[in-house]
Amino acid sequence: MKIFAYFVRDDEIEYFDNWAKQHPEVEVEYTSEILTLDNVARAKGADVINTMLMPVTAEIIAELSSYGINIITTKNVGTDNIDFDAARKYGFKISNVPSYSPNAIAEHAVMQILRSLRQAKVVDARILTHDLRWAPTIGRELRMQTVGVIGTGNIGRVVIQILQGFGAKVVAYDLYRNADIETQGLYVDSLEELYRQADVISLHVPGVPANDRMINADTIALMKDRAVLVNVSRGNLVDTNAVLAALDSGKLAAFALDAYEAETGVFNADWRDRPFPDARLAAMLERQDILVTPHSAFYTDKAVEEMVTKSLDNGLLYMQGETPASNIPV
């Protein structure tokens, strides 16, 4: 049995090697290269392709099929990078890793809430100039805030636990209610009710079409004045121009984002010696009321370990004739 992995980063190698030592019956090879039609032939002889995020086109799938490969395991949640029509045509099996250390993302969200409430970007910039005065950059205490958590899946529930540890009042909304959160009486009946109550709003829902631009001019108008918005989920949840307008008017006090609607090709790249490709994002990076991180909320050693090991476990199960729990119907 053999697994060939593409786009293996240096921080993942330890976990690939550890897994291979624990499964001597499986040959594991990997490359740092992104899977393309030019290098797909490197996978010849493998039973499973392991990859992440980058496009798996119809042409690549056809080529893999010609080598007798019909299994793709991804290290991430999303599979919209895979041509499912081609996968269906060639009889492929596909799995993802739907949950990896929800604590990593939840902790990042709460960190950005705290940094926004304490105007950390303003303070940091002033300290770098050796201005060590306190005023006028006064903060807000998290325990005094009502935090609206939209989405109470694995990540949203951890966010709630952390917020409760700080003493914050939490209100929550989800179409599919969690029994424990229901028992605690945290749910409100509508997003409108959450918007009207919350001093801070944290998004933890998927980027499905129904949620596209759920944060827009109309929904922002329902929010409390000087609310803080945090998005560590998907960029398409937010109408960025509407948020910028709300920041300019003072309706919103701060915006923290780890996902951006135009992030593809921009995030996870070094632009220090090249022209920056997104003028709007460049302006956002300069603003003191916006905190930007480059879709890195997930990026902890524990999360990386789980992404690697779970995706390799899925590959082994397929090769053994079993179906992983995270199999994606094709």
Among candidate residues 234, 261, 305, 306, the one labeled active-site is 234
Is 234 designated active site? yes
Can the peptide bond before residue 136 be classed as cis, meaning omega within 30 degrees of 0? yes
Q: Judge contact between 150 and 192, C-beta under 8 A.
A: no
d(CA 219, CA 191): 9
**Which DSSP string corresponds to 123-166?**
HHHHHHTT----TT-----GGG-EEEEE--SHHHHHHHHHHHHH
Among candidate residues 108, 115, 204, 295, the one labeled active-site is 295
> What are 38's strand-pairing partners?
none
Is 263 designated active site? yes
Is 287 designated active site? no
| Residue reference for tokens 């890793």 | 97
From the list 214, 220, 229, 238, the residue with the least C-alpha distance to 291 is 229
d(CA 249, CA 245): 6
Q: Judge contact between 267 and 36, C-beta under 8 A.
A: no
d(CA 55, CA 283): 29
> What are 95's strand-pairing partners?
73, 327
CB neighbourhood size of 312 (10 A): 24
Q: Judge contact between 168 and 199, C-beta under 8 A.
A: no
d(CA 118, CA 228): 11
Q: Judge contact between 37 and 66, C-beta under 8 A.
A: no
Sequence letter at residue 154: N
Among candidate residues 27, 29, 107, 263, the one labeled active-site is 263
The token pair at 98 is: 């739907």
Active site positions, annotated:
234, 263, 295
